[in-house]
Structure 1
Amino acid sequence: MVSKTEETQLNRLENQVDNGGGGAWEYLCLVRKLKVRRSEKVLKHGLSILNDIKKRSSLGPDEWTLYEQVAIAAMDCQCLDVAKDCIRLLRKSFPESKRVGRLEAMLLEAKGAWAEAEKAYSSFLEENPLDQVIHKRRVAMAKAQGNISGAIEWLNKYLEIFMADHDAWRELAEIYVSLQMYKQAAFCYEELILSQPTVPLHHLAYADVLYTLGGLENLQTAKKYYASVIDLTGGKNIRALFGINLCTSAIGQLAKGRNKEDKESSELQSLAATALEKDYKQRAPDKLSLLTTALKSLKVSS
């Protein structure tokens, strides 16, 4: 995940390059380092270097890294002739390279030659079953064809091997949510929370899924995870504050009777409502009356 500092640095450098201030190579290196997709910019500024013999020769061995970077960006932008030329030059210089072979298979994908691409990927995995890039390409290819069940299958197979890949767990969870397969999504978020317990977004997504599933036990657990988000963010997550109110209101309707836990829930709900009203007074005073009405409908008094 790119930090705010890194994003600021990237945007500043991008603006500098776009306005003729130089630093194109430094920008392209930073894009690679941060693993972000700025395909149009990479294609434009990468070609400006590759088409300049003096600039290109000054890169030394990094010239080939740039050809690869530009090839991928060109495929993203559907400039397939550019991608083909870059890959051809790479193949000429590295005739036995598996890395270049992956690029050739990706070009088949970009052309929509799905069967040929799948054949190439299967061949690579026979030689190296632990090739993460190829496993991920299969997932991407399934999604590109609208084959969501296939994407789920490949992601699950991938995660059997690479269980520590947080991005893959999150991607699988989001697919499950899109299909309203909330129990499966909940499992994915549980894995993420176990491996990254201090990331608020995992707690928040898990709480949202549990709230959607409903039922007293799920609502009570969702409320706890909304509370953990508030704790991890210093009380600044509006969605979690709303979640506390919604869960407490729903629990109150399902669990009749007053007990100690009901009292504590009511106090927590009141604190969350107060925090919401304070935030709205500062940032959206014109919508404060709407918030007050919504909170009253949940039977909250701050």
Structure 2
Amino acid sequence: MVTKTEEAQLSRLESQVDNGGGGAWDFLCLVRKLKVRRSDKVLKHGLSLLKDPRKRSALGPDEWTLYEQVAIAAIDCHSLEVAKDCIKALQKRFPESKRVGRLEGMLLEAKGSWSEAEKAYSSLLEENPFDQVVHKRKIAMAKAQGNITVAIELLNKYLETFMADHDAWRELAEIYVSLQMYKQAAFCYEELILSQPTNPLYHLTYADVLYTIGGQENLQTAKKYYASTIQLTGGKNRRALFGVCLCTSAISQLSKGRNKEDNGTELQSLAATALEKDYKQRAPDKLQLLTSALKSLRVSS
């Protein structure tokens, strides 16, 4: 995750380069380091360096890193001729490189040559079955073609080998949610919480999924995870605060007044108070709407 300091540094360098103040190479290096997408700027400033023989030769071995970076940016921007030229230069310098082979596959994808790209990736995987980048390209290609079932199959197969890939678990969960396959999505978020128990986003999204599935047991668990989200965020997550109120109200309706002591009305009251305080400070114009919404969710004593 990019920190505020890093984001500020990147913005400063980007502005400096855009206004002719130099530092293009430093900007491109920082983009790579932070793994952010600035494809249009990378294409513009990277291509400018590559077209200047003096500046290009001054980079030494990093010249080839720049060719790769510009090739990917050009594919992103659909400047396919630029991408093709960069890949040709890399092929000449590294004729047997698997890394260049991935770029060739990406270029075929961008052209819409799906079967050729599939053959290229399959060939690479035959030589190295554990190439994560190629596996991910195949998943991305399935999604790009609208083959969601295939994408799910590939993701599940990928996660059998690379179980620690949080991004892949999250992507699979989001696909399941989009298909309303909430039980499968819940399993993915459980895996994410096990691997990153202090990430409030996973607690929150897991709670959302359980609330959507419904049923008293799921609602009780959802409330617990909304509560843990509140704890992990220092009580500042509105969605989690609302979630506690919604769960408590839904549980009360399902129990029809039974076991009121277990319905968590005290927690709901604390969440409602925190929401009202937050709205008074940040959105006073919406406070009346909030108060009305919370009143409709109150659990009768």
1:102-143 Cα shifts (integer Å, max 9, x gaps): 111111111000000001111111111000010000011011
Equivalent position amino acid for 1:104 in 2:
E
1:279 alignment partner AA: D
| Native 8 Å contact 1:204 1:226 kept in 2 | yes
Could you tell me which amino acid in structure 2 is paired with residue 68 of structure 1?
E
Q: Answer whether contact 1:273 1:300 (CA < 8 A) is retained.
A: no
Q: Where does residue 118 of structure 2 map in the other structure?
A: 118
Aligned partner of 2:269 in structure 1 is 270
Q: Indicate conservation of the 8 Å contact 1:211/1:222, yes or no.
A: yes
**Match of residue 169 from structure 1:** 169
Alignment of 1:30-49 (within 5 A): 30-49=30-49
Paired residues of 1:270 and 1:300 also in contact (CA < 8 A): no
Q: Tell me, in whole angstroms, the C-alpha distance in 2 between the residues paired with 1:76 and 1:276.
A: 42
Moved more, 18-27 or 160-169: 18-27
**Aligned-residue offset at 1:258:** 3.7
Distance 1:67 1:300 in 2: 63
1:74 and 1:176 map into 2 onto residues whose CA distance is 31
Q: Is the 8 A contact 1:87 1:100 kept in 2?
A: yes
Q: Measure, in 1, the Cα distance between the counterparts of 2:97 and 2:252.
A: 63
Per-residue displacement from partner, 1:90-109 (whole Å, max 9, x unpaired)? 10111111111111111111
Paired AA for residue 235 in structure 1: G
Residue segments in structure 1 that go unaligned for 5+ positions in a row: none
C-alpha separation between the residues in 1 aligned to 2:158 and 2:111? 25
The structural deviation recorded for 1:4 is 2.3
The more displaced of 202-211 and 17-26 is 17-26
Runs of 4+ in structure 1 deviating by more than 4 angstroms, as ranges, are none
C-alpha distance in structure 2 between counterparts of 1:8 and 1:267, whole Å: 42
Task: Give distance in 2, aligned partners of 1:289 and 1:258.
Answer: 31
RMSD between superposed Cα atoms in Å: 1.0
Q: For residues 177 and 11 of structure 2, what CA distance do their matches in structure 1 show?
A: 32
Aligned residues between the structures: 299
Q: Partner residue of 1:84?
A: 84
SS in 1 for 2:2: coil
Q: TM-score, normalised by structure 2?
A: 0.97
> Any idea what SS the aligned residue of 1:163 has?
coil
* Contact 2:207–2:221 (8 Å) recurs in 1: yes
The one-letter amino acid of 1:272's match is A
Name the residue aligned to 2:262.
261
> Could you tell me whether the CA contact under 8 Å between 2:248 and 2:299 is conserved in 1?
no
Q: How far off its partner does 1:259 sit? A: 4.0
Asked if 1 retains the 8 angstrom alpha-carbon contact of 2:170 and 2:188, the reply is yes
Q: Deviations over 1:41-75 (max 9, x none)?
A: 11011011111111111100000000000000000
Q: 1:5 Cα shift?
A: 2.2
Q: Secondary structure at the match of 1:69?
A: helix
| Cα distance in structure 1, aligned partners of 2:296 and 2:16 | 51
Q: TM-score, normalised by structure 1?
A: 0.97
Alpha-carbon shift at residue 17 of structure 1 (Å): 1.3
Identity of aligned residues (%): 82
Q: Which residue matches 1:288?
A: 287
* Structure 1 residue aligned with 2:93: 93
Report SS of the residue matched to 2:59: coil
